[in-house]
Structure 1
């Protein structure tokens, strides 16, 4: 297994000084789990550090935090793809159709993507 998409390998990625025992244990656990999954030690360390730092930001333990670190109070699993398909083309036709079905929009089966967007008010 290589480096997960979107993660740049950084030679100097580590746990910040002054981390508490709980965060140290969390770091070690994540690092070991990543190594068991086949990640290199370097990649496992970076993933573990990023994960722990994000948790520190969410709980207010760090001085600075990114907007996504503090905004997302749910795990990726709990978010269930809330931020998926927010790119240039937006949600897929199937996703728009599913939303139209939930809202019981008439004529949805014959609509194209643009028409579904318009019917949903996007």
Structure 2
């Protein structure tokens, strides 16, 4: 199921992944699906997709979902763990039971 838009490197990657999936006992169809999805994801992460053909850079390249959501959710730009570490450095009481917003408030970042 290799695509015309794929480079020779991506063709090899597809074949290698497909073979690996077949060796693991997957069906031919499922192995092809996994290989194609993996290659397309890698292409998107490396900016190899072409927006003219309806392909766009996926959100997978911008980090893990929890980190992206955490950074956007409260607008502080820091994750809960980063805020917690700062609260620990400042010795803020009750920090272990605080959520992200409470930590931001305690640090004066709200």
Report the TM range for the smaller structure's normalisation.
0.5 to 0.7
Deviation at 1:84, TM superposition (A): 2.6
Look up the match of 1:119: 103
Q: How big is the shift at 1:36?
A: 2.7
Match of 1:24 in 2: 11
Q: What are structure 1's unaligned runs of at least 5 residues?
A: 1-13, 74-78
Which is bigger in relative contact order (C-alpha 8 A, separation at least 6)? 1
In 2: Cα distance, 1:15 partner to 1:38 partner = 21
Alpha-carbon separation, structure 2, partners of 1:52 and 1:32: 14
Decide which structure has the larger Cα Rg and report it: 2
**C-alpha distance in structure 1 between counterparts of 2:84 and 2:43, whole Å:** 40
Give the helix-richer structure, 1 or 2. 2
Measure, in 1, the Cα distance between the counterparts of 2:48 and 2:84.
Answer: 43
Give the structure-2-normalised TM-score: 0.57
CA distance in 2, matches of 1:60, 1:101: 34
What is the rounded CA distance, in whole Å, between the counterparts of 1:99 and 1:62 in structure 2? 33
Residue segments in structure 2 that go unaligned for 5+ positions in a row: 74-78
Q: 2:3 matched to 1:35?
A: no
Question: Contact 1:26–1:52 (CA<8 Å) still a contact in 2?
Answer: yes
Alpha-carbon distance in 2 for matches of 1:66, 1:20: 17
TM-score, normalising length from structure 1? 0.52
Judging changes above 3 Å, is the alpha-carbon distance between structure 1 residues 20 and 100 closer, same or farther for their aligned structure 2 residues?
closer
Tell me the CA shift for residue 39 of structure 1: 2.6
Aligned length: 90
**CA shift at 1:33, angstroms?**
1.8
Alignment partners' CA distance in 2, 1:26 and 1:62? 16
